[in-house]
Amino acid sequence: MQKEQDRKILYYSDELNDDFAGTNIEQKKLPEDFEYLSKNFFFNLGKFLLHWLIVPIIWLLVKIIYHQKYVNKRVLKRCKKSGYFVYGNHTNAMLDAYLPTLLTFPRYTYLIANPDAVSIKGIKNLVLMLGAFPLPNSMGLTFKFMSAIKERVNKKGVIMIYPEAHIWPYYTDIRNFRVDSFVYPVETNKPVFCFTNVYKKRIIGKRPKVVTYVDGPFYPDQTLTKRENIQNLRNKVYETMKKRVQSNPKYEYKYTYIKKQTV
């Protein structure tokens, strides 16, 4: 483990809402004419080229920086003829942006993200080409958003979600998360997988290596009500991810997280 003086202490009070990403992006409201499924020829050409030409470079970059490897990735083959949803822990800005695409390649993956992701001037189209689906910020866009998700997953696409919502860099546990995002697989009756990134100490170098455990599939239960189904899927994913981190020794890198004491 790193020396105490090499790590920064981060104090938190709310697992659901505290954010330590430190990006300070000024969020821009999505226009009402925003298109989740662009039909523009040049946009889709760029999307195709990025997927097939850039992904191998990203794979190499991730291998060099994080020495990342998968455990149990073969379970994804159980749903090779179906679209599905994937949930993961949110602990690394760079890795979390690339991992959804790498995990399911050559299939296309669409990442549900905050509007922050498309608020950075100059790279909005690039982020969208890489598969970002920004959350709607108006009732008018909600219908388009849900329609786009259903169309992609029904055409064997993969939808990626970080249910913890906020980035806690190199956090070694699973935070509590809401049930909201589990409405999608219930609405579409599609299977669910989850992955859990665990950080491990490297023999050479300070930066930890990343082991990504993949689990599933979990299916909506037709004997349950919609609300019960949403809660049930959330609990299965949460408990599975918890077991993965608990079965591995915790390696703290850069940050120690301490909960603030309330009076």
> Cβ neighbours of residue 32 under 8 Å, at least 6 residues apart?
138, 140, 141
Contact 211, 250 (CB under 8 A): no
Contact 236, 191 (CB under 8 A): no
pLDDT of residue 31: 81
Q: If we measure between CA atoms, which residue out of 78, 89, 56, 50 comes closest to residue 210?
A: 89
Task: For residue 127, give the amino acid letter.
Answer: V
Count the Cβ atoms, other than its own, within 10 Å of residue 89.
25
229 phi and psi, to 5 degrees?
-60, -45
pTM comes to: 0.91
Domain locations in the chain as residue ranges: 4-23+33-259
Question: 247: alpha, beta or left, given left = phi > 0 and alpha = psi -120 to 50?
Answer: alpha
Average pLDDT, consecutive stretches of 10 residues, N- to C-terminus, the chain (263 residues)? 69 91 69 86 90 89 92 96 96 89 91 77 76 86 92 94 94 95 96 96 86 96 94 97 95 91 62
Q: Which CATH architecture has domain 4-23+33-259?
A: 3-Layer(aba) Sandwich (3.40)
> Cβ neighbours of residue 6 under 8 Å, at least 6 residues apart?
254
